[in-house]
């Protein structure tokens, strides 16, 4: 009877996902809703004010991505063996990240102080600081996912979203008139400081959750080397998303950044909802690859792709039809008419980007992050080369055109890499499993043949 009731490893993974996915997605949706409320409020006050915030946040995200360099994502794949994350390694990595952040903040202060001819608006600095706070919060999330403390992750997201976004917007809307910027400036300064306290407590809590091994070796640069392909991939993604905002700010000004950024953030809410699912899927895919083999992993990736495609098709159709109906009513300003068109095509780009996620996570779970990195680096370089020309020729439409074309090309390349990886791992008719050293070996003769 006991044997009949025992769960297989796959059933254990499914049970964990079923219990945790709802609160994690709900907490992530809460954070994204609070963040979007801030963006909508800033856009309502002034597109230039919103542009300053998004410009600073884009720079902060680029620097935060370069500092982390895929380390948080690498930690999600660690187990309890010799490569396990310990308090000592976590603390060393965190201290180096903090030192790099302080150097960046000092550089910003010097630039504001007049060492550069152009001074930064205060809202730009706030966006920069808040983006880096999120990068540190994600380090705590990685440990929470690694330790299966999903409830802690969900609650901390709620706290961060409340103190950094919801409370400042609520205060500014009630106390200060929506037509002014003074109230939101003061509220965001207080919110950033409160966010610093919350994130610091979060990191201390996750540090205490890790095993204490004083003799454990390794630090930032060792971890950086282990995560180098994930880091290059992460940095390429950040460049792909944030570079258009920076280029628009340089070429067309902060108002253009505000208009384009409002549309980008509106559609990005859909993709950012993938944040929780991505971490859960990467964790479960890696466990499946190590215990069940590549065949089951392929089945789940295909199924996730079909579900994602169906959801995005329905949502995209609703956006196109709804925006067309609103546009036909007339009476809209030129900026709003442009926004409707940008929103429609941004939905196409975000749909293609969402379709990439299951395939991308499957490749990373199979330790094929080099393939993912190659695709994203190619997309980022192509975007950096083409977007300035497209902005010059098409104006604010340039980044949208580039996004649709590059996302379609990236999706096709990832599909081809995934199929090739599956064929390599399936040669010889043996179902491969993922060994602890990151190599694929046959189930029957583990340790002899490798699928790389």
Per residue in 274-316, pLDDT (tens digit) is: 555 555 555 555 555 555 555 566 666 777 777 777 877 887 7
Residue 216 sits in the same domain as residue 273: no
What does the pLDDT read at residue 287?
A: 53
Q: Are 268 and 350 in contact (CB under 8 A)?
A: yes
- Note whether residue 233 is domain-resident: no
C-alpha–C-alpha distance, residues 267 and 107, integer Å? 32
Q: State yes or no: pLDDT of 32 exceeds 70.
A: yes
- Note whether residue 245 is domain-resident: no
Residue 65 sits in the same domain as residue 214: yes
Instruction: Report the 10 Å Cβ neighbour count for 73.
Output: 21
Q: Are 201 and 78 in contact (CB under 8 A)?
A: no
Residue 441 host element (H or E):
strand 440-442
Residue 293 sits in the same domain as residue 209: no
C-alpha–C-alpha distance, residues 393 and 351, integer Å? 25
C-alpha–C-alpha distance, residues 91 and 335, integer Å? 48
Instruction: Report the 10 Å Cβ neighbour count for 389.
Output: 11
Which of 167-171, 235-239, 260-264 has the highest average model confidence (pLDDT)? 167-171
Domain housing 423: 267-452
Q: What is the largest CA-CA distance in the chain?
A: 77
What does the pLDDT read at residue 419?
A: 81
* C-alpha distances out from residue 10 to 55, 86, 237, 296, 300, Å: 44, 27, 31, 10, 11
pLDDT, the chain, mean: 74
What does the pLDDT read at residue 432?
A: 46
Residue 210 sits in the same domain as residue 353: no
Domain count, the chain: 2
pLDDT digit string (tens) for 174-213? 876 555 677 788 888 899 899 889 988 888 988 888 877 7
C-alpha–C-alpha distance, residues 331 and 452, integer Å? 60
Q: Is 173 exposed, middle or buried (0-12, 13-18, 19+ CB in 10 A)?
A: middle
C-alpha–C-alpha distance, residues 104 and 333, integer Å? 40
**Phi, psi dihedrals of residue 428, rounded to the nearest 5°:** 90, 0
Q: State yes or no: pLDDT of 107 exceeds 50.
A: yes
Residue 290 sits in the same domain as residue 407: yes
Q: Which of 174, 208, 226 is the last residue of a domain?
A: 226
pLDDT digit string (tens) for 389-406? 888 888 878 888 888 898
What does the pLDDT read at residue 436?
A: 45
Name the least confident of 41-55, 67-81, 279-293, 408-422.
279-293
Residue with the bigger pLDDT between 58 and 117: it is 58
Percent of the chain scored above 90 by pLDDT? Answer: 2
Instruction: Report the 10 Å Cβ neighbour count for 102.
Output: 10
C-alpha–C-alpha distance, residues 175 and 167, integer Å? 12
What does the pLDDT read at residue 162?
A: 92
- Note whether residue 261 is domain-resident: no
C-alpha–C-alpha distance, residues 447 and 452, integer Å? 13
C-alpha–C-alpha distance, residues 261 and 242, integer Å? 10
- Note whether residue 410 is domain-resident: yes
The mean per-residue pLDDT over the stretch 351-376 comes to 78
Residue 55 sits in the same domain as residue 189: yes
What does the pLDDT read at residue 273?
A: 58
What does the pLDDT read at residue 2?
A: 44
pLDDT digit string (tens) for 348-362? 887 888 788 778 777
Q: State yes or no: pLDDT of 20 exceeds 70.
A: no
pLDDT digit string (tens) for 308-335? 778 778 877 887 888 788 777 766 667 6
Name the least confident of 5-19, 203-217, 219-233, 385-399.
5-19
Residue 289 sits in the same domain as residue 420: yes
Q: Which of 226, 257, 287 is the last residue of a domain?
A: 226
Does the predicted model carry a pTM greater than 0.85? Answer: no
Model confidence at 17, pLDDT cuts 50, 70, 90, reads low
């Amino acid at each position: 009877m006991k044997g009949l009731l025992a769960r297989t490893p796959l059933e254990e993974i499914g049970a964990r996902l079923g219990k945790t996915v709802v609160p994690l997605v709900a907490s992530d949706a809460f954070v994204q809703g609070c963040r979007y409320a801030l963006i909508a409020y800033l856009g309502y006050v002034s597109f230039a004010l919103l542009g300053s915030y998004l410009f600073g946040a884009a720079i902060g995200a680029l620097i935060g991505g370069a500092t982390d360099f895929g380390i948080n994502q690498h930690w999600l794949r660690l187990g309890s063996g010799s490569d396990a994350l310990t308090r000592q390694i976590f603390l060393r990595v965190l201290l180096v990240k903090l030192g790099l952040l302080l150097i960046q903040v000092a550089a910003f202060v010097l630039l504001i102080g007049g060492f550069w001819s152009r001074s930064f608006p205060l809202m730009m600095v706030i966006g920069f600081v808040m983006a880096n706070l999120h990068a540190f919060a994600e380090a705590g999330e990685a440990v929470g996912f690694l330790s299966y403390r999903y409830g802690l992750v969900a609650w901390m997201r709620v706290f961060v979203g409340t103190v950094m976004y919801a409370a400042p917007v609520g205060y500014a809307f009630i106390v200060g008139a929506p037509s002014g910027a003074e109230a939101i400036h003061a509220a965001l300064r207080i919110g950033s400081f409160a966010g610093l306290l919350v994130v610091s407590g979060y990191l201390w809590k996750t540090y205490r959750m890790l095993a204490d091994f004083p003799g454990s070796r390794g630090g930032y640069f060792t971890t950086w080397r282990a995560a180098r392909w994930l880091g290059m991939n992460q940095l390429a993604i950040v460049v792909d998303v944030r570079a258009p905002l920076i280029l628009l700010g340089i070429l067309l000004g902060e108002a253009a950044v505000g208009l384009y950024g409002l549309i980008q953030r509106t559609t990005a809410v859909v993709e950012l909802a993938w944040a929780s699912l991505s971490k859960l899927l990467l964790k479960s895919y890696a466990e499946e690859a190590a215990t069940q083999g590549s065949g089951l992993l392929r089945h789940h990736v295909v199924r996730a792709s079909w579900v994602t495609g169906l959801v995005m098709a329905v949502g995209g159709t609703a956006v196109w039809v709804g925006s067309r109906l609103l546009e036909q009513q007339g009476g809209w300003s030129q900026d709003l008419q442009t926004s409707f068109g940008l929103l429609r095509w941004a939905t196409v780009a975000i749909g293609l980007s969402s379709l990439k996620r299951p395939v991308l996570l499957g490749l990373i779970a199979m330790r094929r992050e080099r393939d993912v990195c190659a695709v994203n680096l190619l997309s980022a370089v192509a975007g950096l080369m083409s977007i300035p020309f497209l902005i010059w020729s098409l104006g604010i439409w340039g980044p949208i055109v580039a996004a649709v074309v590059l996302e379609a090309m990236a999706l096709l390349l990832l599909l081809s890499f995934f199929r090739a990886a599956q064929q390599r791992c399936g040669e010889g008719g043996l179902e491969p499993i993922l060994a602890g050293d990151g190599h694929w070996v046959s189930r029957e003769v583990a340790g002899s043949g490798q699928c790389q």
